[in-house]
Amino acid sequence: MKKYSFLFLLIAFSWGVAFGQIQTPEQFLGYKPGDRFTPHHRMVDYFEHVAANNPNVKLIQYGETNEKRPLILAILSSAENMAQLEQIRMDNLKRAGLMEGTPSTAIPINWMSFNVHGNESVGMEAAISAFHTLADPNNQKSLEWLKNQVIIIDPAINPDGRDRYAMWYNQKMNTTLQPDLQSVEHNEPWPGGRANHYLFDLNRDWAWQVQVESRARLKMYQQWMPQLHLDFHEQGINNPFYMAPAAEPLHEQLTEWQHEFQDIFGKNTAKYFDEMGRFYFTKERFDLLYPSYGDTYPMYNGAIGMTIEQGGGGRAGRGGFNAIGDTVTLSYRIEGHYTAAMSAAEVTSANADRLLEEYSKYFQENSSNPKGKYKSFVIKGDSNPAQVSKLLALLDKNGIRYGRAGNRSGLRGFEYQSGKNTSFSTTEEDIVVSAYQPKAVLAQVFFEPNPQLNDSITYDITSWALPYAYNVAAYALESRLDPAGAYEKEAFSQNAVGKTPVAYIAAWKGTRDAAFLAALLKQGIRVKYPEFPFKTEGKSYPAGTLLITKGGNEYVPDFDKKVTEIANQFGIQLETTMTGYMEEGKDFGSPNIRVIQAPKVALVGGEGTSSLNYGEIWHFFEQELDYPLVNLEMGNLGRYDLSDYDVLILPSTWGGGLNKAAEEKVLDWVRSGGKLIAIDGALNLFANKEGFDLRTYDTEEEKKAAEKAAETLAKVERLAPYQEGERLAIAGGAAGAIYQVDMDETHPLGYGTGGKYYILKNNSSKFAYLTNGVNAGKISSTDSYRTGYIGYKIKSQMGETMAIGVEPKGRGELVYFVDNPIFRGFWESGKLVLSNAIFLVGQ
């Protein structure tokens, strides 16, 4: 018979008498799980009820959404573990090398996340049921499991999107279950409930932490660094159930144990599904490559990350017919996720010691002998200080260490900008990121110039190297380069009010500068920019530099105080000149010194537009520029008075696009002086149409040659095996291919870019150089390709094409972005180019 210490008996006794009466979800909510969708606030109420009646449950509010809903975690374990919870947490960080010391406890952490996509709405319902079982003091199995682990449950990563779906569905659903998928409750209106308030896909934001939910969650995640993370999703209604092991491509950094444990979990869960007669699949569709998922991000942080996908999704509602006529009910879907959650708790308990052993081994081996090809990364500190600062902030959020490079010569490495190996030296301003650190794998993944694909059929983008995303000069070294010391960020020297100069001068190099300009314009302060480089008082400045002149701002009360305070707010170091007479370039009274009129901007959304691209722009205006934005519905464009606006932004579109009335109204507005910014798929509204200069091919001969080549290829492909169809299809597309775009620095679109900008290409679009416009950004040749997947059918055609252009139309212009410049909000360098289009073009 097993013996227990007196202390344990005391804890057990006190635990028993301390419990209140925990109600089941049905008792508390008033309906059976699966009968309807639970509002987020009622889920929170239930979690609070359970926590109030079980001393071994700790509830934490770790943040708040844009719509002011609480973000919560529930932490559960045995009484003994809860009594030393903080020690368990710190010991976990010690195992990872993130804290000094030797662990004194041996308890793994199992983190389960639900409802990252709002309309994959079974997640939160399953979380409620799983939470009840795990917190039930009368459930002997869960009591045994909790002795060997701490379980953390995030019941709704995306409360705003989840309530958007649930509230809409509860309003539209029939009282009697209606599984006909043509019924209104099975057809969500735009934008759907998948994304968060700003229509971001939070399951693509783990690494980048652009959104408030991600930043709050990852701050908490870094404090725990679990051994296991399950990410619960839903897929299409015709797919049964997916669980780990994952599909190819699998990143080369993944360990044998990470693969092995996925298999352990998969087989254990399959055992229960087989008993229930449920279908499932593994090792298909859901790969482990892109680093910003809820499975890959934990993997690159030492955990076993796993995606769980129940068939159903928002289309299924409370119940819907699948392709073979079966009704996929909400209660059936809850059962699937619930079973996977219980299986995860079971295998974690059974493999607790091995989980901790392999976790410690992961960090010890990677920090002492990093596996990846490149062992060190150097960021040139003077390449663009504002952008470098933002990049370092991202590394800080992810716990990646870096230091001062120091003065060193004779180094050799891969230069990101040229895409070639070259010799270089470092200075005291430069930063080095060494892979010899606890976050070795994550650092290598973030900076890897060319991720290795063992299968080109992948679920997401295939390249993301941060030096391209931030457009900073950097090198990747195959050798070890340790920091020479701690990197001290240069202290900002506050601007002080002195004698009013002829002009305050501010750099134009990044998003911070654009936000500074936006703040000045909102205060009614007149800002100008020069069309040519200039030199004053012995110092040279490029075209596009911001000029805040005394002349023209006489009407602004406390002009100097306002300008300096706003500059200090954004960390902008102002320079001054006491003369408008230039040593070189145009004097400040020249017609080539342009006044930046504060634009009135409208963003078009609604059915027919990409909700994700719309959300990226919306978020950029509200959370980064803090600049007013009007949101218009595309379906109503023909009825709006567009004369109220100076700039109209069309995000990527699909389907039929603008109706005839809207198209005529928009073009009349452009001819009258409006500026239309078209992005990605929106270019198809104008391409190859009469009256527009935007063309796929430069000449008819080129078009005929391309058509003939495509016809020849099609004759070969039609004889290919049926199962090669998907592979042949992707040969005509791109999945995150990075190209160097050569920017015309004499045009406002090129200001601040240094003549180069890197696009992340996720479409197959290519356009000939404009004949009657400005080709401000060009893919000059096929050598402009840097990394990432692009199919062989189109890769050879990308050279000598327009990437960013301006077509004049009457008194206005059309600004074309062939590719999304601010993809997922993490492609930082594109934000400056978009700001150029918004504020500078056409002034």
- Quick one: which of 207, 242, 233 has its CA closest to 117? 233
- State how far the alpha carbon of 266 is from the alpha carbons of 274, 276, 607, in Å: 12, 15, 39
What the block records as the tokens of 73 is 């975690």
Contact 78, 58 (CB under 8 A): no
Q: Count other Cβ atoms within 10 Å, centred on residue 235.
A: 18
What the block records as the tokens of 817 is 């972005």
143 sits in which H/E element: helix 140-147
Give SS3 for 541: strand
Between the two ends of the chain, the Cα-to-Cα distance in Å is 86
> Interhelix angle for 559-570 vs 511-522, to 10°?
150
Contact 693, 773 (CB under 8 A): yes
Residue 837's Cβ-count burial label (10 Å; 0-12, 13-18, 19+) is: buried
Give every CB contact of residue 433 below 8 A, 6+ residues apart in sequence: 376, 377, 378, 379, 395, 400, 401, 402, 443, 447
Q: Is the dihedral of CA 30, 35, 36, 40 positive or negative?
A: positive
pLDDT of residue 64: 98
pLDDT of residue 13: 27
- Quick one: which of 809, 775, 838, 529 has its CA closest to 673? 809
Task: Write down the H helix ranges in 576-683.
Answer: 611-619, 660-671
Q: Count other Cβ atoms within 10 Å, centred on residue 824.
A: 22
pLDDT of residue 457: 66
DSSP string spanning 2-39? Answer: ----HHHHHHHHHHHHH---PPPHHHHHSS-TTSSPPP
What the block records as the tokens of 312 is 């159903």
Residue with tokens 């654009």: 514
Contact 404, 481 (CB under 8 A): no
Euclidean distance between CA atoms 10 and 520, whole angstroms: 66
Contact 363, 438 (CB under 8 A): yes
Contact 290, 296 (CB under 8 A): yes
Question: 562 — phi, psi (to 5°)?
Answer: -65, -45
- State how far the alpha carbon of 538 is from the alpha carbons of 92, 422, 500, 582, 795, in Å: 57, 34, 19, 10, 47
Amino acid in the structure at residue 803: A
pLDDT of residue 249: 79
| Series of mean pLDDT values for 10-residue runs along the chain (843 residues) | 29 39 96 97 98 97 98 98 98 97 97 98 97 96 97 98 97 95 96 97 97 98 98 96 87 92 96 96 87 95 96 96 96 97 98 98 97 96 90 98 96 96 96 98 96 70 95 97 93 92 97 97 98 97 97 95 97 96 96 97 96 98 98 93 97 84 93 98 94 90 78 71 69 89 98 96 95 97 94 90 97 98 97 98 94
pLDDT of residue 20: 72
Beta pairing, strands 593-596 & 534-536:
unpaired
252-285 as b/e: b if 16+ CB within 10 A: ebbbebbbebbebbbebbbeebeeeebebebbee
Give SS3 for 774: strand
Give every CB contact of residue 653 below 8 A, 6+ residues apart in sequence: 608, 609, 610, 634, 681, 682, 684, 685
Amino acid in the structure at residue 328: V
pTM (two decimals): 0.94
pLDDT of residue 96: 97
Euclidean distance between CA atoms 448 and 371, whole angstroms: 12
Contact 423, 410 (CB under 8 A): yes
Residue 323's Cβ-count burial label (10 Å; 0-12, 13-18, 19+) is: exposed
pLDDT of residue 727: 65
Euclidean distance between CA atoms 10 and 320, whole angstroms: 51
Amino acid in the structure at residue 212: V
Contact 345, 268 (CB under 8 A): no
Euclidean distance between CA atoms 496 and 517, whole angstroms: 19
Residue with tokens 């002034």: 843
Q: Count other Cβ atoms within 10 Å, centred on residue 308.
A: 30
Give every CB contact of residue 694 below 8 A, 6+ residues apart in sequence: 683, 686, 687, 688, 767, 770, 805, 807, 814, 816
> Interhelix angle for 40-53 vs 159-172, to 10°?
120
Q: Count other Cβ atoms within 10 Å, centred on residue 345.
A: 26
Q: Where are the beta strands (DSSP E) in 380-457?
A: 403-404, 408-415, 420-426, 431-434
pLDDT of residue 7: 28
247 sits in which H/E element: strand 247-250
Number of helices followed by number of strands (H, E) in the chain: 25, 34
Question: 676 — phi, psi (to 5°)?
Answer: -105, 120
What the block records as the tokens of 308 is 């769980």
Euclidean distance between CA atoms 181 and 194, whole angstroms: 18
Give SS3 for 818: coil
What the block records as the tokens of 420 is 């070639």
- 3-class secondary structure for 545-584? CEEEECCCCCCCCCHHHHHHHHHHHHCCCCEEECCCCCCE
349-374 as b/e: b if 16+ CB within 10 A: bebbeebbebbbebbeebbeebebeb
Give SS3 for 200: coil
pLDDT of residue 706: 77
Task: Write down the H helix ranges in 682-734.
Answer: 700-717, 725-730
What the block records as the tokens of 309 is 């996908």
